[in-house]
Chain A
Amino acid sequence: MIHSLFLINASGDIFLEKHWKSVVSRSVCDYFFEAQERASEAENVPPVIPTPHHYLLSVYRHKIFFVAVIQSEVPPLFVIEFLHRVVDTFQDYFGVCSEVMIKDNVVVVYEVLEEMLDNGFPLATESNILKELIKPPTILRTVVNTITGSTNVGDQLPTGQLSVVPWRRTGVKYTNNEAYFDVIEEIDAIIDKSGSTITAEIQGVIDACVKLTGMPDLTLSFMNPRLLDDVSFHPCVRFKRWESERILSFIPPDGNFRLLSYHVSAQNLVAIPVYVKHNISFRDNSSLGRFEITVGPKQTMGKTVEGVMVTSQMPKGVLNMTLTPSQGTHIFDPVTKLLSWDVGKINPQKLPSLKGSVSLQAGTSKPDENPTINLQFKIQQLAISGLKVNRLDMYGEKYKPFKGIKYMTKAGKFQVRT
């Protein structure tokens, strides 16, 4: 099981270590540093690194490496999932997960880590339960604790821990009872030179914020549940009911949680909401190239595409770019060769474009590779897959909750090859 955890920042300093079994010397991280040196970028450090006596499994998030040390055959996904859970928990506790924040709350961090694993076995990883054991720091509580001498460690066994609904604490009370659901879809796509789709898929999630008194039992039904043939549920969802009736039936955890994530695969026809027209050319033996891109809406069901951002990694041979946008702002970083253009909203009547020239290093042949264009955008009030919630019902409690559903489509990894 998981032996130890080291937190390493971008400059290669170990700023926190925690051991759940015997203490493993931090020199074991030298193997990690070696791998880090070999990898060109932090993202490319391999997640599994063997050393003579241990295995190092790492995740890289928020510019911090979370490196777990294991000694025996342990499912690596188990470890990696756990590490991501650690990051999520920190974020949940402190709002952001950063080196500064972790150092500022080092004792809480340490206590939380101790609660999360025992002898390397996960103990309490649900944030609902953790927060009952170790209360997250707030300014008010710090002040109160200092005055009254009370602690931020709960001295009662968390109620949910052993019940049939371990994810929910008992005795929840709210004056405003509300349940909000966000259907968020990310579209991943690769579009080729000619504008046709090579592959496109949708990663969807339904995130919930449920603040309901008591033990509510909710059901959520869809207009078109057929779309959801590849789903992963929060443990609260009753799987049998879904199998037989295609209805989500569950007792929700308290607060924010991810109810469901789903995947609409590349085999289905996925609507592509935007298109990019591009004309990028470098000529041999010329120090100038042409650059022109236009972005336009495609299948948006009448909704506005906003938050559009275009980025593109230019070839090494590009020295500078002289461009004029029809709207928004653009930056070209001559060191990293990264072009980014913050477009904003797309007005279908007047399509945004970015035109100009590229200056190339003189005397070298034209770059072999053409840059790939990365696109980000958002469309409110639209789930691009067409998923629609039919109704939400509550049983088990008497009051009438506020209910709300929001839809949003975003670009995930949306790439246009040129």
Chain B
Amino acid sequence: MTDSKYFTTTKKGEIFELKAELNSDKKEKKKEAVKKVIASMTVGKDVSALFPDVVNCMQTDNLELKKLVYLYLMNYAKSQPDMAIMAVNTFVKDCEDPNPLIRALAVRTMGCIRVDKITEYLCEPLRKCLKDEDPYVRKTAAVCVAKLHDINAQLVEDQGFLDTLKDLISDSNPMVVANAVAALSEIAESHPSSNLLDLNPQSINKLLTALNECTEWGQIFILDCLANYMPKDDREAQSICERVTPRLSHANSAVVLSAVKVLMKFMEMLSKDLDYYGTLLKKLAPPLVTLLSAEPELQYVALRNINLIVQKRPEILKHEMKVFFVKYNDPIYVKLEKLDIMIRLASQANIAQVLAELKEYATEVDVDFVRKAVRAIGRCAIKVEQSAERCVSTLLDLIQTKVNYVVQEAIVVIKDIFRKYPNKYESVIATLCENLDSLDEPEARAAMIWIVGEYAERIDNADELLESFLEGFHDESTQVQLQLLTAIVKLFLKKPTETQELVQQVLSLATQDSDNPDLRDRGYIYWRLLSTDPVAAKEVVLAEKPLISEETDLIEPTLLDELICYIGTLASVYHKPPSAFVEGSRGVVHKSLPPRTGSSESAESPDTAPSGVQAAEQPAVIPTQGDLLGDLLNLDLGPPVSGPPIATSSVQMGAVDLLGGGLDSLMGDESEGLRSDVGGSPAMGGGGGSGGFTPAPSTTMPANMGAPLGSGLGDLFDLTGGVGTLSGSYVAPKTVWLPAMKAKGLEISGTFSRQVGSISMDLVLTNKALQVMSDFAIQFNRNSFGLAPAAPLQVHAPLAPNQSVEISLPLNTVGSVMKMDPLNNLQVAVKNNIDVFYFSTLYPLHILFVEDGKMERQMFLATWKDIPNENEAQFQIKDCSLNADAVSSKLQGSNIFTIAKRNVEGQDMLYQSLKLTNGIWVLAELRIQPSNPSFTLSLKCRAPEVSQYVYQAYETILKN
């Protein structure tokens, strides 16, 4: 008699039959029926129709039957919420049962019934169970808090369960501690901001004690929790490491890997001269090697993590190359990972062994693996210079095998070797050319074409070879087409006499017959270069190429540091930070390695990540007229202009001129024109000439155009994320800008505001004259940030004497740019039927802070470090009595975003970022001492001239 009988069905209708049995008087029959129901459930059959009948069986002394009913309830309660209420009484009663097993079972099951109505009834029993005398019940209740939080987070907070849970961390029973930590960690994951796991030396000590006594799974939770702790100095870090090290000998590989994470992270704080540092390094190798003898699935995860560890600290496994040698019956996913690590560990000392292995792999059956092995040989050549020659000869051997995919792969990597060691191995080109016909993959074809083009002067029949490719030009992939275009241009520049025809052919193919914009653009560029200045063309096309870097495939250091903090998690398997892929990553807090203590900077700045990002895009604050791009474009347009650029369609050249003309129409055109400029600019030879290029604005254009767009998106996100600033930035009260006496009776007062991404100038126009005013118009002079009216000034009715009108004038930042002094000065011209009036005003800088000014944390670290120290400016904000949280929420309202908060020796450090409409980032560190009303603000920006005004903005926002 086996359970498979429960699967057999009768003709009459299963559900009907079961229903009858469930309502049977015989206990045994009932139980059998419930078992049948469960059996159907396990194979995914819907038996929810039996809900009332099953629930009726709940009142029983038979524990097995009770458990079975509970199993059923958990699965179906959600679909029958009203029925589920029927079960509540039994649960509440069971929570009082003298048998702890039953109490625990009841509270555990109740938590699994994901019905809102039931949760209210759960609170009281849960509170009792959390304080139960039996640790088994307490540990079950701890998990139940996490379940409840998942269903109704607010309820858990209101009922104070979180605090009770925190208390359980100090429980006398290690199993309870472990479960409390697990529950808190899970809750914290959905609640990133909350400081649930408040770790301090005392609680750490408790966790470490519990670590030795709890189950293997509990150890994983505790170790993962420890990894989030930031020891205050190297002594503490070392003592934690010492207590964690024994976990490396645990039989459970997850415990081992979590321990490795803690050690890798805290090691960062230890001085390298310390004896203990060396000891620790030695201790790390054996457990990692042991992980590789586990089941293949475990090996895979271990290998992905080892890949990170090897990049961070190659010294740990440098002698362990052999364990990564591939066995032919390893699963393919293990093979590929092993191969990757082999290359990372390759060095002069072991390269001979590695190459011999790789050559062996290159003759295996699995195509993917063989390809990767061939690539690996190329990577070895690039990594270990001494081995390059050996690698090349190995690759040539492989080419001789004539196995198609091996040959193609080999040619792709030989191209890289040429780039790394120019003028060394070109003798092999002849061999490569022999295989030209067998290449059918784009990458290999492109590589071969590159080689032919690059070494055209050494290949006698280079033109023939390239011509042969040209025949099927349109059937090639883009990669090959681009490469062929470049190669033929190279060839032409090297042997101009005999290849003129060829080059014309390819240029016309690329520019006229292709609908690929990249190809067309490249074609046009070459065409123009060649036709205007062949010498320059030579310099550009045949320029010396930078050597390719040793390891292009290394993970970027800042990312690597972050990933090291995530050892053992999914992030480490994907080599991506959790923010990049975890669902609902709203809450993911970036982690960073702790700074090595003793380094001077660590005390005041959070930067530990090596720099390496940035540098590419550094928007200049105010593009000086005639900077590089402007020059280039000017040249292209015709006679170079000195001084201010030629007139553009923008509003500028003094308000007066423009105000005379058709103001409204101009305004409309303007934005239109600018937009089309941006769209049209990539089309190099696009005909239109002058219209296509507007020198001065175009330098800032990408940033300008990007900003409103980006901030619009930011708004959407903010709204959905609930952290949005619907209320907008702080708005100063209106002040009088233009007194009536200066403007023939027109008084203008106003202020600036920023709301959900749009800037506006709020004006009150008052007529203090005796005559009616009409025909209002407004115009700005060029200014530092390109502020300009986005719409004409609309005063619908004529303004009668003693009447005022309130107008909100939307602004944009796509106007033309000129550096003003002070930076935030704005000169305005207003016209009415009487005259034109001028005034100037200062706008607060915070209206320019865009909504997407929150920098990625790691980016922040890198940028902070990257900006030279002389760009740092310090200010005092006096007499501000807010606390750190209030400050940060207040600033957030004006788009100054707090990225991290740290508490250092009693003072709060806020790290903040903001972005201006023209793409300039400003990074800030705000130091708040609890007893001291003056804050210290340090600002870092690539354009230090804005700092002063950012500080003013800070002061304005905080004091109002």
Q: Which residues of A contact B217 (CB under 8 A)?
A: 78, 82, 121-122, 125
Q: Which residue of A lies closest to B252 (CB)?
A: A81
Say yes or no: B582 contacts A73, CB within 8 Å: yes
A111 CA / B31 CA spacing, docked (Å): 14
Asked whether any CB of chain A lies closer than 8 Å to the CB of B6, the reply is: yes
Q: Which residues of B contact A131 (CB under 8 A)?
A: none
Asked whether any CB of chain B lies closer than 8 Å to the CB of A178, the reply is: no
Chain A interface, >50% SS class: mixed
Q: A106-B3, A121-B217 are in contact. Are A152 and B64 (CB under 8 A)?
A: yes
A39 CA / B296 CA spacing, docked (Å): 15
Asked whether any CB of chain A lies closer than 8 Å to the CB of B189, the reply is: yes
Say yes or no: A198 contacts B298, CB within 8 Å: no
Q: A156-B101, A234-B251 are in contact. Are A114 and B286 (CB under 8 A)?
A: no
Q: How far is the CB of A258 from chain B (nearest CB, A)?
A: 7
Asked whether any CB of chain B lies closer than 8 Å to the CB of A69, the reply is: no
A239 CA / B219 CA spacing, docked (Å): 15
Contact residue among B67, B216, B250 (Cβ-Cβ distance under 8 Å from A111): B67
Say yes or no: B213 contacts A78, CB within 8 Å: no
A155 CA / B66 CA spacing, docked (Å): 11
A84 CA / B296 CA spacing, docked (Å): 11
Q: Which residues of B contact A39 (CB under 8 A)?
A: 332
Q: Which residue of B lies closest to A229 (CB)?
A: B286
Asked whether any CB of chain B lies closer than 8 Å to the CB of A301, the reply is: no
Q: How far is the CB of A59 from chain B (nearest CB, A)?
A: 5
Say yes or no: B301 contacts A76, CB within 8 Å: yes
Q: Which residue of B lies closest to A152 (CB)?
A: B64
Q: Which residue of A lies closest to B142 (CB)?
A: A121
Say yes or no: B7 contacts A75, CB within 8 Å: no
Give the size range of A's interface with the partner.
35 or more
Q: Which residue of A lies closest to B216 (CB)?
A: A235
Type the 1/0 row for B821-841, where 1 means its CB is closer than 8 Å to any CB of A: 000000000000000000000
Asked whether any CB of chain B lies closer than 8 Å to the CB of A166, the reply is: yes
Asked whether any CB of chain B lies closer than 8 Å to the CB of A98, the reply is: no
Contact residue among B38, B111, B254, B320 (Cβ-Cβ distance under 8 Å from A265): B320
Say yes or no: A417 contacts B257, CB within 8 Å: no
Q: Which residue of B lies closest to A25 (CB)?
A: B44
Contact residue among B68, B323, B570 (Cβ-Cβ distance under 8 Å from A266): B323
State which residues 166-186 of B face A: CB under 8 Å.
173, 175, 179, 182-183, 186
Q: Which residues of B contact A417 (CB under 8 A)?
A: 360
Say yes or no: B323 contacts A265, CB within 8 Å: yes
Asked whether any CB of chain A lies closer than 8 Å to the CB of B140, the reply is: yes
Q: How far is the CB of B932 from chain A (nearest CB, A)?
A: 40
Q: Which residues of A contact B331 (CB under 8 A)?
A: 43-44
A103 CA / B3 CA spacing, docked (Å): 7
State which residues 277-311 of B face A: CB under 8 Å.
286-287, 289-290, 293, 295-298, 300-302
State which residues 122-165 of A face B: CB under 8 Å.
122, 125-126, 142, 146, 149, 151-157, 161-162, 164
Q: A48-B300, A265-B323 are in contact. Are A166 and B215 (CB under 8 A)?
A: yes
Say yes or no: A48 contacts B2, CB within 8 Å: no
Asked whether any CB of chain B lies closer than 8 Å to the CB of A295, the reply is: no
Q: Which residues of B contact A263 (CB under 8 A)?
A: 286, 289-290, 293
A81 CA / B291 CA spacing, docked (Å): 12
Give the size range of B's interface with the partner.
35 or more
Asked whether any CB of chain B lies closer than 8 Å to the CB of A306, the reply is: no
Asked whether any CB of chain B lies closer than 8 Å to the CB of A400, the reply is: no
Contact residue among B42, B150, B401 (Cβ-Cβ distance under 8 Å from A16): B42
Asked whether any CB of chain A lies closer than 8 Å to the CB of B99, the reply is: yes
Asked whether any CB of chain B lies closer than 8 Å to the CB of A23, the reply is: yes
Q: A14-B44, A106-B4, A157-B100 are in contact. Are A55 and B143 (CB under 8 A)?
A: no
A239 CA / B247 CA spacing, docked (Å): 9
State which residues 673-719 of B face A: CB under 8 Å.
none
Asked whether any CB of chain A lies closer than 8 Å to the CB of B425, the reply is: no
Asked whether any CB of chain B lies closer than 8 Å to the CB of A336, the reply is: no
A23 CA / B75 CA spacing, docked (Å): 7
Q: Which residues of A contact B581 (CB under 8 A)?
A: 50
Asked whether any CB of chain B lies closer than 8 Å to the CB of A34, the reply is: no
Q: Which residues of B contact A59 (CB under 8 A)?
A: 295, 297
State which residues 13-43 of A face B: CB under 8 Å.
14-23, 26, 39-40, 43
Asked whether any CB of chain B lies closer than 8 Å to the CB of A413, the reply is: yes
A151 CA / B68 CA spacing, docked (Å): 12
A111 CA / B39 CA spacing, docked (Å): 11
Asked whether any CB of chain B lies closer than 8 Å to the CB of A310, the reply is: no
A199 CA / B320 CA spacing, docked (Å): 11
Q: Which residue of A lies closest to B287 (CB)?
A: A230
Say yes or no: B3 contacts A107, CB within 8 Å: yes
Type the 1/0 row for A44-59, where 1 means its CB is closer than 8 Å to any CB of B: 1011101001010111
Type the 1/0 row for B114-137, where 1 means its CB is closer than 8 Å to any CB of A: 100000000000000000001110
Say yes or no: B570 contacts A76, CB within 8 Å: yes
Say yes or no: A84 contacts B301, CB within 8 Å: no
Contact residue among A72, A84, A107, A369 (Cβ-Cβ distance under 8 Å from B38): A107
Contact residue among A80, A103, A234 (Cβ-Cβ distance under 8 Å from B298): A80
Asked whether any CB of chain B lies closer than 8 Å to the CB of A368, the reply is: yes
Asked whether any CB of chain B lies closer than 8 Å to the CB of A415, the reply is: yes
Say yes or no: B189 contacts A199, CB within 8 Å: no
Say yes or no: B39 contacts A230, CB within 8 Å: no
State which residues 57-72 of B face A: CB under 8 Å.
62-65, 67-68, 71
Say yes or no: B568 contacts A77, CB within 8 Å: yes
A265 CA / B322 CA spacing, docked (Å): 9
Say yes or no: B220 contacts A239, CB within 8 Å: no
Say yes or no: B62 contacts A44, CB within 8 Å: no
Contact residue among A78, A198, A232 (Cβ-Cβ distance under 8 Å from B220): A78
Say yes or no: B215 contacts A122, CB within 8 Å: yes
Contact residue among B146, B298, B327 (Cβ-Cβ distance under 8 Å from A188): B327
Q: Which residues of A contact B578 (CB under 8 A)?
A: 73
Query: Which of B44, B140, B173 has its CB near the most chain A CB atoms (within 10 A)?
Result: B44
State which residues 154-204 of B face A: CB under 8 Å.
173, 175, 179, 182-183, 186, 189
Q: How far is the CB of B854 from chain A (nearest CB, A)?
A: 22
Asked whether any CB of chain B lies closer than 8 Å to the CB of A381, the reply is: no
Q: Which residues of B contact A300 (CB under 8 A)?
A: none
Q: How far is the CB of B175 from chain A (nearest CB, A)?
A: 6
A166 CA / B257 CA spacing, docked (Å): 23
Contact residue among B64, B135, B175, B332 (Cβ-Cβ distance under 8 Å from A153): B64
A58 CA / B300 CA spacing, docked (Å): 12
State which residues 329-364 of A face B: CB under 8 Å.
none
A292 CA / B401 CA spacing, docked (Å): 25
Asked whether any CB of chain B lies closer than 8 Å to the CB of A170, the reply is: no
Say yes or no: B569 contacts A73, CB within 8 Å: yes
Contact residue among A74, A110, A265 (Cβ-Cβ distance under 8 Å from B71): A110
- 8 pairs of residues in contact across A and B, judged by CB atoms under 8 Å: A18-B42, A44-B333, A75-B569, A77-B254, A77-B302, A81-B298, A106-B3, A119-B143
3 residue pairs, one from A and one from B, having the closest CB atoms: A230-B286, A151-B64, A104-B2
Known: A44-B332, A162-B173, A232-B287. 20 other contacts (CB 8 A): A1-B186, A18-B42, A26-B44, A48-B570, A71-B583, A75-B220, A75-B224, A78-B220, A80-B295, A84-B295, A106-B6, A107-B38, A114-B71, A121-B217, A157-B100, A233-B251, A235-B215, A316-B365, A368-B363, A415-B327
